[in-house]
Amino acid sequence: MRPAMPRPDHTRVFVVANQKGGVGKTTSTVNVAAALAQLGQRVLVVDLDPQGNASTALGVEHRRGVPSTYDSLVEGVPLADVVSASPEAQNLWVVPATIDLAGAEIELVSVVARESRLRKAIHGHPWVGSATAAGEERFDYVFVDCPPSLGLLTLNALVAGDEMLIPIQAEYYALEGLGQLLETVEMVRAHLNQGLDVSTILVTMYDARTRLASGVAEEVREHFGERVLRTSIPRSVRVSEAPSYGQTVMTYDPGSPGALSYLEAAREIAAQGASQ
């Protein structure tokens, strides 16, 4: 266990989204979550991607028939009934995604208040809320890992979240497609969730040897200012290998540059929470 960071005084609900594939979205979700758990925070990851990659990396069962986000979203099953403890770290829980979730977009179309189903499920969990309401057992962080598209599942996540974590790869075209995501965020803010804040930008797949990477990182910082974490995540084989062993890089190779960078990024996020 690493020295604990102070806990925020209420649950911080993060949506991790970027509809551009391959930016390290799920990788960042699971590693930041595992790093925060190692820093003494109580963390829940809600896997909202039918591929279930976050569930795989966090070592939880997600074959068809396992209680999952599908049951909460479509069937209205309380979130507390579909949560599994992750073997990756103490204080880390997961709501797994099964392939059933692939049909949820269509099934939700006819449901009343379909875009706020996830918000209702998350806020209905007894461990979500302020220190006074939810007590010492509360989750400090909830991370929702979105599918790489802007459909009804991602919309549910944007309505459920208070904050957004957007991973951006330090590569050419990094900011392309981001405009569309930010437009969707504005629309959600205007009509469904005024409190949604793009609070955190994480630069991933950073290759310090290239001028391109530092140029992109600079452009991202110019665009988003203070919201960009100081820590960038380096391109790393260990980070990519870890999920095939059902692990995050935090346990697969804790001393690797990737793991240490995610730990540093998690510290920055926790420090924001302590100062809120």
The whole-number pLDDT of residue 226 equals: 94
d(CA 64, CA 185): 32
What six digits make up the tokens of 210? 């290239």
Contact 154, 146 (CB under 8 A): yes
Q: What is the pLDDT of residue 1?
A: 61
- Give pLDDT, residue 140: 97
From residue 36, alpha-carbon distances to 10, 15, 116, 256, 263 in Å are 15, 16, 27, 17, 7
Pick the CATH number of 12-275 from 3.30.230.10, 3.40.50.300, 1.10.150.20, 3.20.20.70: 3.40.50.300
Tell me the angle at which helices 257-275 and 25-38 cross, rounded to the nearest 10 degrees.
70
Tell if the pTM clears 0.85, that is, is over it: yes
Q: How far apart are CA 95 and CA 15, in angstroms?
A: 14
Which DSSP symbol is given to 151? S
From 104, 126, 127, 100, select the one nearest 117 (Cα to Cα). Answer: 104
Query: Domain limits of the chain?
Result: 12-275
* Nearest to 57, CA basis, from 37, 28, 36: 28
Give the CA count within 13 Å in the CB-facing half-sphere of 235: 12
- pLDDT tens digits for the chain (276 residues)? 678 899 999 999 999 998 877 788 999 999 999 999 999 999 999 999 999 999 999 999 999 999 999 999 999 999 999 999 999 999 999 999 999 999 998 999 888 889 999 999 999 999 999 999 999 999 999 999 999 888 899 999 999 999 999 999 888 777 877 888 899 999 999 999 999 999 999 999 998 888 888 888 888 999 899 999 999 999 999 999 999 999 999 999 999 999 999 999 999 999 987 666
Please list the residues that pair with 16 across neighbouring strands: 145, 165
Amino acid 275: pLDDT: 64
**Measured between alpha carbons, how far is 15 from 231 in angstroms, rounded to an integer?**
19
